[in-house]
Amino acid sequence: MDFADIRREFDKTNKAYFDELQSELGDEMEHYSKLFKSAEEIAAELEVVKDVLFQYDTLNKELFSRQISEIQDRTQVLALKKALADARSLYNLCRLFGFNDLLQRLPFVQINALYNEVDNHLAMLNLKDRLENQADTSGLLNMALEEVLFKFIKIGEEELKLADELKDALRRTRETMTSNIDPKDPEFTQLKEELERLFKNRNLKAVSQEEMKHNMLTLNKIQDKVCEINRKNRLLQSKYEGDIKFVRVHKRLVEKGTISDSERRIFEALRLVKQQADNSVMQNRNILDNDSYFERMMQRHVVQQFQQTQNIKLSPDSTRYINQLVVKEYLDEFNGVTPW
């Protein structure tokens, strides 16, 4: 019995608070109106969610995962994700307002797990789309590759152990590759492309035990090679007093093969160019705002240190090439542009 008319007073207070919010928030009220749903409104929205989930087994996470893994249409996956997100919100409202009978309408215990399955599959479709459409994949290595969801042909102790080992191999490879300071290194580029082919060729389909073992061997080889690249980069970085800009310039000049047959003389010339450039920038950082002036100034330093100091004969094209490399590194650093 409601002797004190608690329900009526509660509804009255809620209505007053709702009206006050609406007057203050205006159009933004749409985002807050979800806090004030009746049991009938929640029940109706639960019916919509149930219609979206009707075709899928929501009681068995593994079966649900296999069912959605066959969906290649992102629109369908997004609709599933929205329905599950709505279900989570409705569950919270049911608990908040004590609509316990509505909690029996959906298997809410499974909702978070099902949502994660759908979210993972959507991430896989996005990755597949980027790879198969040959979009810019420079950011691929920064994705959480170890979180890629693998679908196994058979599930057992051995497969699960292999899955953990493969995820660990992916994590280690990703961390090793993202620590590289020279993404334009030709050898590194080949290794990155090999890693991307590993995913593209697999086409994100089921992975057998043998494929997992083969992928782990490939990943370990890639990691070992990148570790060696990083080791050599650190040696050069130390010689340039930690300045990674000149590590990249140095490597491009050595790779070109027409500047000088002596890597040591290239280093000595660049070291002096670096000193002059750093002194100029330190005295007046505003010179980096004037690209053409900075480029002309640096060209004089390049000619002086390469031709006059180190006796490295430069053609006009070689001079421009060296100068463009150096200038670009300084301007990218000044403008906050990363090599990735």
Tell me phi and psi for residue 207, to 5 degrees.
Answer: -120, 125
What single string gives the DSSP state of each residue in 85-96? HHHHHHHHHHHH
Token digits for 154? 């058979």
pLDDT digits (tens, 9 = 90+) for 150-162: 554 445 566 667 7
- The reported pLDDT for the residue numbered 201 is 53
pLDDT at 17: 55
pLDDT digits (tens, 9 = 90+) for 5-48: 666 665 566 556 555 655 554 554 444 445 557 888 888 888 89
- Average confidence (pLDDT) per 10 residues, the chain, 340 residues: 59 59 50 63 88 86 86 88 88 81 83 88 77 54 46 56 78 88 93 80 58 84 94 93 95 94 94 95 90 94 95 95 96 80
pLDDT at residue 70, as a whole number:
82
pLDDT of residue 63: 87
Consecutive H or E run containing 264 = helix 263-283
Hey, is 105 helix, strand or coil?
coil
**What pTM value is reported for the model?**
0.59
Name the token pair of 131: 């790879």
What pLDDT, on the 0 to 100 scale, is given for residue 108? Answer: 82
Residues 124, 180: Cα–Cα separation, whole Å: 25
pLDDT at 204: 43
In whole angstroms, give the CA distance from residue 133 to residue 183.
22
Q: What is the pLDDT of residues 35-44, one digit of tens each?
A: 557 888 888 8
